[in-house]
A and B are shown apart, each in its own frame.
Chain A
Amino acid sequence: MEITLAAEPVARLGDVVITNTMITSAIVVLLLLAVAAVYRARLSTDSPGRFQSLIESVLEFVLNLCEATAGKELGRRVFPLVCTFFVFILTANWFGLLPGFSAIWVVNFEGHRVPLLRAANSDLNMTLAMALIAVGTVQVLGVTTRGLAGYLKELATPLFLAPIHIISEISHVISLAGRLFGNIFGGEVLLLVMYSILPYVVPALFVGLEALFGFIQALIFTVLSVVYISLAAGAEEAPSAHAA
């Protein structure tokens, strides 16, 4: 049993090293594109099938969440970004729980045996990239809402609190990325340990728990992104904040 914090390199394309988490991310993106293509092809307003209803119930769930957190107008504006986060994180988390996911091993360009696939969010680079996009959007929205001068004025009011404001903003990136990474990586390690000491029946319970945690983590990342965005835009809490 070998556990490494960093994603394992699998192949090399010129100077770019391809890690197993990058391969998983690419597969997840392709899977989501295929689902979107099938959804688009079967789209019907008269008689929506089960597949369409399932996809639309997921979208409705996230839309209600956005509207309940950021209000109707802003919620709908941020929905495409936030829904992308939710769907990608959830799919990536659940994809990593599929049977046989970590059972495919390859010999990489360095001559080491490494797993071909690894949960996408168990790589800090991935979660950090998503957190940067979320917090970057928050900053852009802050500037567009208040103007650059207003934004900087708010950041430095009072002046002695400016470093604290800046650290607080940067800490959003670290906490968003760190929590998602920590939970998914911890879950991977837990499952690996369980599979090695009790390979029958017991790991199934932990897979179930990890499926739940995968959903909760996707939900937390999504809701926090909306909360930060609504804070930056100065949106009031929705009066009837009920969703899904």
Chain B
Amino acid sequence: MGKGPWINGRTARALALAAQLGTAVAASLGLAIGGGLLLDRWLKTWPVFLLLGIAVGLLASWYTIASLARELPGQKKRNKEHNLKDE
């Protein structure tokens, strides 16, 4: 370990965020669809909450990916530069 060229904070951060993207989609979708199925079973409204769960799950996974992508190394700097250009 110690200071060496094999891995640095930016690489580790990019690696972790990239690894998180897939599971974040699966977790958000699974959570919303599972919740929808449970609500449908409880309220006997199948498939209303299942469909709602799919929609919310897709939006939640998109939101999670967007918030993770904003944290990619250098992204904040790029965003700031882009905002300054727009102004």
Residues of chain A touching chain B, judged by Cβ–Cβ distance below 8 Å, are: 57-58, 60-61, 64-65, 67-69, 161, 163-165, 167-168, 170-172, 174-175, 178-179, 216, 219-220, 222-224, 227, 231, 236-238, 241-244
Contacts and interface: CB of A to CB of B under 8 A. Distances in A.
A60 B2 CA distance: 7
Interface string B41-81: 00000000000000011011101100100010110110000
30 contacts: A61-B2, A65-B12, A68-B9, A165-B63, A167-B31, A167-B57, A170-B31, A171-B24, A171-B27, A171-B61, A172-B27, A174-B31, A175-B20, A175-B24, A175-B26, A175-B27, A219-B12, A220-B15, A222-B16, A223-B13, A223-B15, A224-B20, A227-B17, A231-B71, A236-B76, A237-B71, A237-B76, A242-B8, A243-B8, A243-B9
Interface of B: 1-4, 7-10, 12-13, 15-17, 19-20, 23-24, 26-28, 30-32, 56-57, 59-61, 63-64, 67, 71, 73-74, 76-77
A61 B1 contact: yes
Nearest to B2: A57
Binding site secondary structure of chain B? helix
Leading 8 A-B pairs by shortest Cβ distance: A68-B9, A243-B9, A223-B16, A175-B23, A171-B27, A174-B27, A175-B27, A167-B60
B18 to A, nearest CB: 9
B64 A171 contact: yes
Contacts of A242: 8-10
Contacts of A178: 23, 26-27
Contacts of A231: 67, 71
Nearest to B10: A241
Contacts of A57: 1-2
Nearest to A216: B15
A219 B15 contact: yes
A244 B13 contact: no
Contacts of A67: 9
A60 B30 CA distance: 38
B60 A164 contact: yes
B30 A174 contact: yes
A243 B15 CA distance: 14
A222 B12 CA distance: 10
A61 B27 CA distance: 30
A163 B24 CA distance: 16
Contacts of A238: 9
A126 B1 CA distance: 27
Chain B CB within 10 Å — which of A164, A167, A236 has the most? A167
Given A178-B23, A219-B15, A167 B32 contact: yes
Given A57-B2, A167-B32, 19 more contacts: A58-B1, A60-B1, A167-B57, A168-B64, A168-B67, A172-B64, A174-B31, A175-B27, A178-B26, A179-B19, A219-B12, A220-B19, A223-B12, A223-B15, A224-B17, A227-B17, A227-B71, A237-B77, A244-B1
